[in-house]
Chain A
């Protein structure tokens, strides 16, 4: 017994020490001394640590060459897409005298590593390139420095589309982020195959072959192209999508579900904005999942395990007649791996013939299919942690990367991961000067604009705890698509899990943040 007592005492002593050290860490963070940078020829003094959410306390470093001599700025982001950013960061470093280290983190671990580091007051980077759906945790969690006015001006704040300015780069009305990427999932089709197979399609289905406006048309087209040779290769399929769990399953499903479950007369989508009750198991989401399960067979074999790269390569490799993807397909269709250059059609994602009206509790329909473009990821952007030792340099770099000139070049370059989200990147002339035919450039930018400007567009979830909500939903979708559970059972289970997460994180606070994200007050 004495032995047990000693063991417990030791255990609690350790716990007490841990608890005490955690407390110390927070206190230390609060009273941290202002950090200054060792300087070579007349560098600008580094400012005091930023108060999260309080803009304007980071002095403008000016534009003098060599203004950050001797400063090392660390950038962290997803492995792969940062190659272009590295080159641009090197240009900035050459001009300012700073050095830039880019730490690439495997895509699947990025959110975990960033959250873990910031939550434990561990330095991870001065600039973090991250998807906007982690904004709730990062900006809402108080980890980020607010963007100073001078950085906003350099990034041409007014040139950023409003949907990104308010939903991606800001939180609670305060601007934190610098622009990088604008994301919306769109619909692509093989215009050449549609033209060549128009008669055969009409003979087979009795309908004219045109780009799908609704998911039911999309399914019929997918069936036709899967059952009829069309690609000029050994195989050809009707569609390619993004269903993989722990990959892009969330975005693949939400792109489809938005048309079925986002009522034009109601701002809420993921949750009831009055009660924070999940909507993901309502009839709209359930039918979306059932309909999705029914068309998976028209995709390439193994599509349940397809993420971004498998999807993109299948389409630009000429294997699929239709694709649901981000804007990257445009520049990728001009790349060296592509066999579809000049043969791609662009449009907003299809809509649903009927949508579930959660307020009336019944199916409803409008003049045409109910479209609700989904801004999955909501774009990648650059944030500066409040604990950065080089706040001015970090914002100087982030605003340079988000400047119109850099973003314009990035948007038209395949493989950068930068999709249009600013006025400069949606300028048709930019794409024409990059070698695109004018009509194709117009079709591409029009499709993006139509998606981003759509009044029923759904911005990705930006709640604290997003990784948990996503994980629960992706599990349910994967179980339903692989036939382990019915769509209703799987989504009921996910909704229970969402309630559990919401309760654990604080329903009132989550509701407040959700309503704020929807632009609701009170």
Chain B
């Protein structure tokens, strides 16, 4: 545990107080809080942080909504349920790089992609999926959603199958509609699983880089660059490991903050339903 987790964490924290640069053979020296001070004036980091929050907020919300809908549908005892479950899980088994290329670059291609072809066949204008700064963010979210909604569905399905049948049957006997049963019984009982699923997905989504690298390369401009992509550029491309480590810590702090917030919300919502 110490070697795998704590040491790298402390080591990278130590780097943030130095001038370590991978490509410059200059003596390593202690620079105090220089790298941390640089963070506050780094507009690029702020921009990538905002992008990342949009990817996580937008992506995880859509994935949760779709995952919930699919899980509820698959929990109806359909005959093809097993087959459907396997089919829905397929995107999750594909490498994000392949997903980025097939979905992001081929399906959403502005020139020869089937989506724009369909839109134009319907008389609608083609969409600049990857070259408009505003739209490109949503393209990243859609590609991420295509890949990771199955995970959300799987977790929620497990939660649904763990809900006891008695309260639902009792409500039906009392004449409650399916919507009221879902809203007042199923959904509250699903909350712990839902929050856990959202948290797991959000923690992963904060680190998004692979799909971005393939689909947009972070562009146009910096419109789709995530913090992880920025850290990669600074650390691996520019060799500035010390500042890259500082920027990575910013992401860590944000993730920790979001995790605490999620747990707090979960307790509040659970308390409300209890």
Contacts and interface: CB of A to CB of B under 8 A. Distances in A.
Interface of A: 10-12, 14-15, 18-19, 22, 26, 108-109, 111-112, 115-116, 119-120, 137, 141, 235, 244-247, 300-305, 314, 319, 464-465, 467-468, 471, 475, 478-479, 481-485, 505
B130 interface: yes
Given A301-B110, A302-B128, A479-B222, 17 more contacts: A11-B10, A19-B27, A26-B25, A112-B236, A115-B23, A116-B22, A116-B239, A245-B217, A245-B218, A301-B116, A302-B111, A305-B216, A465-B23, A471-B233, A478-B219, A478-B220, A484-B223
Contacts of A305: 105, 110, 130-131, 216-217, 219-220
Interface string B94-137: 00000000000100011100001000000000101111110000
A112 B131 contact: no
Interface of B: 10-11, 13-14, 17-18, 22-25, 27-28, 30, 105, 109-111, 116, 126, 128-133, 213, 216-223, 233, 236-239
B111 A468 contact: no
Contacts of A481: 220
Contacts of B223: 482, 484
A245 B220 contact: yes
Contact of A301 (B10, B111, B219): B111
Contacts of B109: 302
A18 B17 CA distance: 13
Contacts of A119: 22-23, 25, 239
A244 B22 contact: no
A361 B17 CA distance: 44
B238 A15 contact: no
Contact of A482 (B25, B30, B133, B236): B133
B10 A10 contact: yes
A281 B105 CA distance: 32
A304 B133 CA distance: 11
Contacts of B130: 302, 304-305
Contacts of A483: 133
A304 B215 CA distance: 12
12 contacts: A12-B14, A18-B28, A245-B218, A301-B116, A303-B111, A304-B131, A305-B217, A468-B238, A475-B222, A478-B221, A482-B220, A505-B24
A481 B156 CA distance: 43
Contacts of A301: 110-111, 116, 126, 128
A478 B11 CA distance: 36
B247 to A, nearest CB: 15
Given A245-B218, A484-B223, A15 B14 contact: yes
Contacts of B222: 475, 478-479
B28 to A, nearest CB: 5
Contact of A246 (B22, B131, B218, B238): B218
A483 B134 CA distance: 11
A465 B239 CA distance: 9
Residue with the greatest number of chain B CB neighbours at <10 A, chosen from A245, A301, A479: A301
A300 B131 CA distance: 12
A245 B110 contact: no
Contacts of A120: 22
B61 to A, nearest CB: 26
B213 A108 contact: yes
A108 B237 CA distance: 10
Which A-B residue pairs are the 6 nearest by beta carbons? A302-B110, A482-B220, A479-B221, A246-B217, A301-B110, A304-B131
B214 to A, nearest CB: 9
A11 B13 contact: yes
Contact of A15 (B18, B133, B216, B236): B18
A69 B129 CA distance: 55
A10 B2 CA distance: 14
Contacts of A18: 11, 14, 28
Contacts of B25: 26, 119, 141
B98 to A, nearest CB: 13
A426 B105 CA distance: 37
Contacts of A111: 237
B44 to A, nearest CB: 8
Contacts of B220: 245, 304-305, 478-479, 481-482, 484
Contact of B23 (A22, A137, A246, A314): A137
A404 to B, nearest CB: 35
A401 B220 CA distance: 39
Nearest to A307: B217
